[in-house]
Amino acid sequence: MGMVALVLVTVFLLLLVMHVPIAVSIALASFFAIVAAGMDPTLVLAGRMANGINSFALLAIPFFILSGHLMGRGGMARRLIDFAGALVGFLPGGLAYVNTLTCMLFGSISGSAAAAVSSVGGFMIPEMNRKGYSREFNVSVTTTAATTGLLIPPSNVMIVYSVAAGSVSIAAMFMAGVLPGILTGLFIMLVCGGFAFQKKYRREPRASLREILVSFKRAFLSLFLIVIVIGGILGGIFTATEAAAIAVVYALLLSVGLYREIPLKELPALLSRTGVTTAVVMLLIGASSGMSWIMTMANIPQTVSAALLGLSDNPVVILLTINLLLLFVGTFMDMTPAILIFTPIFLPVVTALGMHPVHFGIVLIANLCIGLCTPPVGTCLFIGCGVGQTTIARVTRTILPFFAAMIVALMVITYLPIVSLWLPVKTHQLKQAEVEKAAFMQTKATTTEEQ
């Protein structure tokens, strides 16, 4: 099957170089590879693409996309900004911390990094510009902090990974992302502190306890969505898909009914945007499913696994290699197709090392989040530069320390499994015995000590 693998990889890379849309590139590469295998591509590829999106769990994606649109347009971002400002605005460079914390909160509610950049950045970047912060610094903070919402649940990409990995619990993934997302946000805040000290950025007036409580009261209903979604899933009240539908209803009641930020006449346009976005995501998932099948037929995952495991018997070296490969991939490939393509390739490698699939899922997502901030396919970076009215060339120098912070956070997440696995075990989404079997990097030792 060497010829099949050669055709698949060659056609795919050639189409990417020609700037063909990623979903079309994946589908056409799979088409020609199936032809090279001597099968009928019209039947095989169409069937695999249809089966790839025939999943109840994937129904959560359009609902979370719609809820993200409703929240971004529905006035929730402004209330979260006020609450974050009351908490951390008094620190040197306070607006940078407010920006980061708001992106974490809003991203966790909407599940969309792009929505966090446009909604939070649409207010925070001009406000920080007005108060003397560097325009490039403001864009860098917003762009990188927005990606934390893909780690803090609920998150569409976690659902995609769960489907790609096969038997990984969505609820376990949701719980596993909480601490890594917070950790990444804290590292970004450390960089903000360094800039604030160097540039002598101003403090905001310290909020009184009453002002903090008032801002919390205004933001409470927006924050309560996290409690509804995560609490309902953990309590076994509803599935992740049902939680996504409930999130839409809740966001609709707040943004249209209570806050009245979205007039009824705008709902058709929001539904249309949701439909277009969902169509793109589902096309990517379907095409990637076809590619994953032909890759398995061509023994590509087994070949890569053998090569990586033959490279070294040291898990640190192998995972460092995988992370470097994913960092490179993330610079030119969007997150959803990257997860769908590389999960079946790398998952057998890491499980052979004793790494838990949930842990690897968080590492994969944390890694690819960095790619959202890097050209040429850095979606968040392009949106941030557009909102901040600056160029990527000007932002590049300022954003490098934030990249370094995200990479340090990635290394911590990679080599300390407890960061990802502790909360799923404590919330009973993963069994203690199941985690102990994943003996990677002293996980077994730490759980034994607890006993």
Tell me how many domains the chain contains. 2
* Torsion angle of the four alpha carbons 65, 68, 73, 79, in this order, in degrees rounded to the nearest 10: 180
Q: Is the pLDDT of residue 448 over 70?
A: no
Report the alpha-carbon angle 327-185-438, nearest 5. 60
Do residues 130 and 43 both lie within one domain? no
How much is the pLDDT for 184?
95
Q: Tens of pLDDT along 170-229?
A: 889 999 999 999 999 999 999 999 988 888 887 888 888 898 999 999 888 888 888 888
Range of the domain at 20: 4-52
Q: Is the pLDDT of residue 4 over 50?
A: yes
Distance CA 266, CA 261 (A): 10
Tell me the Ramachandran region of residue 343: left when phi exceeds 0, alpha when psi lies from -120 to 50, beta otherwise.
alpha
Do residues 20 and 62 both lie within one domain? no
Q: How confident is the model at residue 391 (pLDDT cuts 50, 70, 90)?
A: confident
Q: State mean pLDDT over 3-17.
A: 87
Q: Tens of pLDDT along 124-139?
A: 888 888 888 889 999 9
Q: Which two tokens stand for residue 369?
A: 């989040």
Q: Tens of pLDDT along 265-312?
A: 888 998 998 888 888 888 888 888 888 888 888 887 778 878 887 877
Least confident interval from 103-107, 159-163, 250-254: 103-107
Do residues 90 and 44 both lie within one domain? no
How much is the pLDDT for 273?
87
Q: How confident is the model at residue 439 (pLDDT cuts 50, 70, 90)?
A: low
Q: What is the mean pLDDT of the chain?
A: 85
Do residues 46 and 123 both lie within one domain? no
Q: Tens of pLDDT along 46-66?
A: 888 888 888 787 888 888 888
Distance CA 266, CA 263 (A): 6
Do residues 255 and 381 both lie within one domain? yes
Do residues 264 and 346 both lie within one domain? yes
Do residues 36 and 102 both lie within one domain? no
Do residues 61 and 41 both lie within one domain? no
Q: State mean pLDDT over 424-441.
A: 78
Do residues 41 and 69 both lie within one domain? no
Do residues 135 and 42 both lie within one domain? no
Do residues 39 and 93 both lie within one domain? no
Q: Is the pLDDT of residue 112 over 80?
A: no
How much is the pLDDT for 438?
65
Q: How confident is the model at residue 141 (pLDDT cuts 50, 70, 90)?
A: very high
Buried b (16+ CB within 10 A) or exposed e, 289-318: bbbbbbbebbebbeebbeebeeeeeebeeb
Q: Is the pLDDT of residue 24 over 50?
A: yes
How much is the pLDDT for 443?
43
Q: Tens of pLDDT along 222-268?
A: 888 888 888 888 888 888 888 888 988 988 888 888 888 888 888 89
Do residues 67 and 39 both lie within one domain? no
Q: State mean pLDDT over 322-345.
A: 87
How much is the pLDDT for 119?
79
Q: Is the pLDDT of residue 442 over 70?
A: no
Distance CA 293, CA 288 (A): 9
